[in-house]
Amino acid sequence: MSISSFSFPTTIKFGVGARKGVADHLREQGLKRPLIVTDRALGALPVLAEFKATLTGLDTAVYSGVFGNPTCAQVMDGAAAYKAHGADCVIGFGGGAALDVAKIVGVAATHEGDILEYVWDHPQVRPITQPLPYFVALPTTSGTGSEVGRSSVVSENDTHLKRVVFSPKILARCVFADPELTVGLPPAVTAATGIDALTHNVESYLSPAYHPLCDGIALEGTRIAARALLTAVREPGNLQARSDMMMASMMGAIAFQKDLGAVHSCAHALGAVNDLHHGLANALMIDTVMAWNHEVVPRKFDELAHVCGVAGGGTAFVPWLKSLKASIGITGSLKSHGVTEAHLPRLVDIATRDICHQTNPRPCSGADFDRLFRAAM
C-alpha cells in the first residue's frame, strides 16, 4: 500500500509505513527535540521503542503518564515534561486519550494557569494567545479520530467530569495515519474503538444541524466501518480492514463538526461515573438510543441501513447493530458492566447537562435519559 497525502482539515499522510516519515518531516521544519506523549501501556511496549528508533538524528524524550480517561493533571504533568526536556515539538502517539493530552500539552507549556482554565465553558475562559509548539499525531487505535480533531476532551481531576478545550489552533500540523500501528490491538479494544468510530459517523449523520458536507462524509464513514469492523476484529493482521477502520475513524471525527447526539451524552456520563472505556460505553448505549431515535427520523435510518448493506430498511438497522456488537464480542448490559440503579441519578444529571444531546434528532429530558439508561440496564 502506498502512502497517500491529503489535507482535510489538516495534512494527513495515510498508509502502511507512514510513521517512518516523521523524522524527516520534523527535520524539514527545523525541529530537533520532540517530546512523545503516549500512555502507560504503550510506553512499555515494543511498538513505541520501534517508533522511537525511527527518529534518528533527533533528541527525543517520552512522557507516558496518560492512563484511563485522561485528566487535567496528566496534561499539566506532560507540560512539565515538555519544559524539562527543552522540547521544541510534540508527537502524540496513541489512542484518543494520549492524543487528547498531546494536543494541549503545548497549550499548558506556553500559557499561564491550569489547563482547566482553557476549557470552552469556563466562566473566565483564558484565550490561547501564544504560538503553540509544532504538533504531529500518530493514532494507534481506530476510534476517536482525535488526530484530526480541533478539540481535546479531558476530565476534571476530582469529579471526572469531561471538559473540552476547543480551538483550531490545537489541530495537528501533520497526521501520520499508519494502519500497521493498530495490528497489535487486542480484539476487545479493536471492537470498542471501532464502535466508537461507527457511532461518530451515525450520530453526526442523524444530527439535525445543516451540514451536507459532513452528511456525505458520515455516510461514507458508516459504510466503510460497517464493511470492515468485523474483519478487523477477527483478522487482526488484515491491513485492508485496519486501513478501512482508521479511515472511518478519521471520517467520523471530521463529520462530527456537525455535532453528535444522546449516545455520546450517555457515554460521557458512564465514563465520569463508572470509568467505562468511551468506546465500550457508546457500544452499550447505541442500540437503545437508536431505537428511540428511529421514530422521528425513519428516512435517515433507511439511508443508514442502505449504506451498511442491511436488508429490510431502517427498521432493520437497530437489530443489525445488536448483531454486529455480538459478533465482535461486545455483550451484556450496563448492569453486567458494573452499573447499578444507585448510579442512575448522577448518570442522568451528567447526561442531561452534557452538550452532545443538544443535536440529537429527538430532544432529551432528564426523564428521557432515565428511561434510556434503565432500558440499557
pLDDT 10s digits, 345-354: 999 999 999 9
Is the pLDDT score of 6 beyond 80? no
CA–CA distances in Å: residue 217 to residues 33, 171, 180, 233: 36, 19, 24, 23
Whether 109 contacts 79, CB under 8 Å: yes
- The CA distance from 166 to 296, in Å, is 31
So what's the pLDDT on residue 9? 77
Whether 222 contacts 199, CB under 8 Å: no
Is the pLDDT score of 126 beyond 70? yes
Domains annotated for the chain, with CATH where assigned, are 4-182 (3.40.50.1970), 187-376 (1.20.1090.10)
Q: Answer with the residue of higher pLDDT: 136 or 44.
A: 136
Average pLDDT, rounded, for the chain:
95
Identify the band that residue 158 occupies on the pLDDT scale cut at 50, 70 and 90: confident
pLDDT 10s digits, 231-272: 999 999 999 999 999 999 999 999 988 899 999 999 999 998
pLDDT 10s digits, 355-377: 999 999 999 999 999 999 999 99
Chain-centre distance of CA 50, in angstroms? 24
Whether 368 contacts 285, CB under 8 Å: no
Is the pLDDT score of 68 beyond 90? no
So what's the pLDDT on residue 1? 62
- The CA distance from 35 to 94, in Å, is 13
Torsions phi, psi for 138 (to 5 deg): -125, 105
Whether 201 contacts 188, CB under 8 Å: no
DSSP strands (E only) in 50-173: 61-66, 89-94, 134-139, 151-155, 162-166
Q: Answer with the residue of higher pLDDT: 65 or 3.
A: 65
Going by C-alpha positions, the residue among 171, 86, 82, 96 that lies closest to residue 128 is: 171
- The CA distance from 360 to 204, in Å, is 9
Q: Which residue has the cell 519544559?
A: 83
Task: Give the residue-averaged pLDDT of 5-30.
Answer: 93
Task: Give the residue-averaged pLDDT of 327-349.
Answer: 96
